[in-house]
Structure 1
């Protein structure tokens, strides 16, 4: 499992963004925009049957856009680095995912993965025992939205601080600017609601935003859970999933997570080329998301039985 193994060398090779890579990303943006427009149309005009489908479609696409934003964080979407922040900001806007804040914390996640300093932006404690309660809290918890509200308020006051380590002054100013723009969007949505467009705000943003919480949690869960979180070896602390063409598209290649952590600057569309190597040498691999979630349910059931067993034993002893 060592990263020094000659057979794994291809996993760690760096690759620059080519014209074709940038074109592929632009096409992904175009597809996301078209499907989002379709979802918005259904949400507003679909009636009792089409409206829920439209809202769910928007929630799914807003989540997909955060996965596209993730590629911008690594400056692996465009050949011009200056494009990544404005495009990344717009991609994260529907789910209030601040590009500059996400970037600082996510790059820290890459640097400190497998150490106590690791902390992902959409946090879930992968070191804690996996239980049904933890899964339910992670799936339904509005904690991230509450934290965004705190970040918006402190940014508007000019008192926002980064609590997870060091941050450059320029990056801090960028984070504050983005959260202030979020505040303007929220105020604008409130004004539209007061002005008689509340139904549109609800269908096009508020409901999809709430529905995105469980979707995004389930999308991010496979990355490192049930892996060796005490190891700094990417072949041990990260999972790769082969997946279908749909899951590869919807997650924007996030299923190839070992490959991504091995060389985070490689354009996402190039990761599949490295998957056979990861599949051979990585400790945690799955053929599909179905097999992964089946493993998660087995682990949660196992931990549930383990927690109940001592209580049962004590009851039997007491009866005796």
Structure 2
């Protein structure tokens, strides 16, 4: 988003998502701006337990182990091993992005630096700057339901408001979304700014410095894997990173994020109107790291991820956009 000369944000302008006023700590703990109501916040207050750092550490360990298995598998010479490894790595990279989301809200560890360190590492596989994603995501929570709302990930027709004029346009729109091509473009533009040492419009000097740090770390990792590939004369960086990211992680991540607000009333500040919940099963709740309980998350953004199912039990009768499973959601979407 660009800023007019008066300092007022221009809702119609395109650009990097991290350009509104810097997020504050209060934005992380604020209740729903719309129809949630004080009584609902009171009903959910008892669920605000302390952050369970040990539980998050176990999540990280499992993700790390499965990623290691994927790396070993994908480097095997057998074709079926390489295919299996690419699939596993891509799924783990998408899962890591969901774990990173937990750190954005300070809900992984109690220590801010530990959250930042984990968030930076978790974002590398999908080229997600922890600093840029954090400030943008907190603004998304603050401005959802208003024209000022912008998300970090740009899928083109973000919420399905623009109806395609033809089947060809529809297919192109979905191809853009699931390829996440806009995300790659944003990363490259921000990487260029980082290498040139430039600040990011609308961000503080501190946030800009952190965004530059994240992009330089990702570039260093890519350079290291490229050098390893050259030394071994094997395309390690391609099979371990590029193929899993492009072929699996990007479309899987887009599929996870799609139900959150797509087709909802995103100009209504009530979380029950602008957000969707999918109950799903234990595996998908683990894989999406509780992202399926998205209304509940927007109602109480600082609620520990592990308590979202409990919040769901409180509010499920008030849900306006709800599906019992991801299969049910996508079935209904395709039928439209």
Bin the TM-score by the shorter chain: 0.7 to 0.9
Is the aligned partner of 1:145 residue 2:179?
no
Deviation at 1:66, TM superposition (A): 0.6
5+ residue gaps in structure 2? 1-33, 165-169
| CA distance 1:173–1:247, shift in 2 (3 Å) | same
**Match of residue 265, structure 1, among 280, 302, 316:** 302
Work out whether residues 180 and 254 of structure 2, in 8 Å CA contact, stay in contact via their aligned partners in 1.
no
Q: Which runs of 4+ in 1 moved over 3 A?
A: 5-9, 11-14, 130-133
Deviations, residues 193-240 of structure 1 (Å, cap 9, x unaligned): 333344222111111111211111001001001111110101110001
* Cα separation, 2, equivalents of 1:185 and 1:30: 20
Tell me what 1:154 maps to. Answer: 193
Tell me what 1:295 maps to. Answer: 332
**Match of residue 196, structure 1, among 232, 238, 249:** 232
Tell me what 1:241 maps to. Answer: 278
Quick check: which has more Rg, 1 or 2?
1
Deviation at 1:116, TM superposition (A): 1.1
Is the aligned partner of 1:74 residue 2:108?
no
* Cα separation, 2, equivalents of 1:280 and 1:23: 32
* Cα separation, 1, equivalents of 2:234 and 2:198: 32
Tell me what 2:78 maps to. Answer: 47
Say which SS state the counterpart of residue 35 (structure 2) adopts: coil
Higher-helix-fraction structure: 1
Deviation at 1:123, TM superposition (A): 2.0
Deviation at 1:48, TM superposition (A): 1.4
Count of residues in Structure 1 that have an aligned counterpart in Structure 2: 294
Is the aligned partner of 1:60 residue 2:96?
no
Tell me what 1:315 maps to. Answer: none
Say which SS state the counterpart of residue 277 (structure 2) adopts: strand
Say which SS state the counterpart of residue 176 (structure 1) adopts: helix
| CA distance 1:274–1:193, shift in 2 (3 Å) | same
Say which SS state the counterpart of residue 77 (structure 1) adopts: coil
5+ residue gaps in structure 1? 300-320
Question: Aligned-pair RMSD on alpha carbons?
Answer: 1.9
Deviations, residues 78-128 of structure 1 (Å, cap 9, x unaligned): 112221111110011111111001001111110100111111111232132
Is the aligned partner of 1:133 residue 2:169?
no
Deviation at 1:186, TM superposition (A): 2.5
Deviation at 1:141, TM superposition (A): 4.0
Say which SS state the counterpart of residue 267 (structure 2) adopts: coil
* Cα separation, 2, equivalents of 1:38 and 1:282: 39
Deviations, residues 252-288 of structure 1 (Å, cap 9, x unaligned): 0000001111111111111111112232112101100
| CA distance 1:135–1:69, shift in 2 (3 Å) | same
Work out whether residues 11 and 278 of structure 1, in 8 Å CA contact, stay in contact via their aligned partners in 2.
no
| CA distance 1:155–1:109, shift in 2 (3 Å) | same
* Cα separation, 2, equivalents of 1:279 and 1:271: 11
Work out whether residues 11 and 259 of structure 1, in 8 Å CA contact, stay in contact via their aligned partners in 2.
no
